[in-house]
Amino acid sequence: MDLKEWFESETQIPSLPTVYYEFSSAVRQLDISFEEIGRIIGQDPGLTAKLLKIVNSAYFGFDSQVETISHAINIIGIEQLNDMVLSTVVMNQFKNVPSEALEMDSFWKHSIACAIASKILALEMGVENPERIFVAALMHDIGRLIICNRASFETLKIFFMMKNQNIELCEAEREVLGFDHAELGGKMLDEWNLPEFHQEVLKFHHNPSLAPNYMIEASIIHVADILMNTLDLGSSGETVIQEFDFKAKRITGIGNESLYFKVVKQTEEKLDDALRIFFQSV
């Protein structure tokens, strides 16, 4: 079965809540008020509560309590709220992945560590909009969640193939499914009508040299992903650590020892606080 057929089959594919699309449409309107955006998000009390928990966490360290979404926008800005909304609603779609298929705490630890490392690397490289890269890195392995949640038998076959043949996860997935989690993740974001940027960096995070428009950003996430696997900071199910793509290594400069250790050190320093914030949002 190819990827298109998988989406057209009876396999249930998660969908983002309506409130996300209403919010996303609203923030593109130049004359929209913060109060109106707050009203839209307020239609989902659970999402509102989670966002306010994050904004009021030690991560932001504001002196006074932020009590409304409109107040939050005034303080952190619409772009950062947009990133928070997207990451929160995506994480909430995958609460029920079977524990025998994937250890979710370890999965999200890996994803969050990868997001932190990607943002640090993006800042070091002077790349525009590092928050956008953070969110893309946070979502980079959601294709794994879809496979584990919707194809439990195939998930076991993939696991045993990796173990018995000592091959990378993507190779085993392609053998069993005909596609890998990176392709599936990119297609999922297309189904959700998320921006082309997110679709492309997810699809090519294992092969960043092939990314047609966002090779730099895909390279950053590719490098961060491998670094976090090397450090064993959580796991998305890989048993064989991928080699750095040659172009990605050159683009990011991760071969520079001082940059390598700076990214590793800062990621490890920030990880515990980030885990506390994000685990309370799912």
- DSSP per-residue letters across 185-228: HHHHHHHTT--HHHHHHHHTSSSGGG-SS-HHHHHHHHHHHHHH
The identity of residue 257, as a single letter, is E
Q: Token digits for 258? A: 């001082």
Where exactly are the structural domains of the chain? 17-92, 97-279
Report the pLDDT averaged over residues 143-151: 87
Q: How far does CA 190 lie from the centroid of its chain?
A: 15
pLDDT-based confidence at 282, cuts 50/70/90? Answer: low
Determine the 3-state secondary structure of 235 from DSSP.
Answer: coil
Report the pLDDT averaged over residues 127-145: 92
Do 223 and 254 touch, CB atoms closer than 8 A?
A: yes
Instruction: Compute the distance between CA of residue 210 and CA of residue 215 in angstroms, rounded to an integer.
Output: 7
Reply yes or no on whether the pLDDT at 27 is more than 60: yes
CATH class of this structure's domain 97-279: mainly alpha
Instruction: Compute the distance between CA of residue 89 and CA of residue 194 in angstroms, rounded to an integer.
Output: 12
Q: Give me the chain's average pLDDT, please.
A: 89
Report the pLDDT averaged over residues 178-201: 94
Which of 32-46, 64-78, 137-151, 216-230 has maximum average pLDDT? 216-230
- DSSP per-residue letters across 239-252: SSPPPPPHHHHHHH
Do 149 and 93 touch, CB atoms closer than 8 A?
A: no
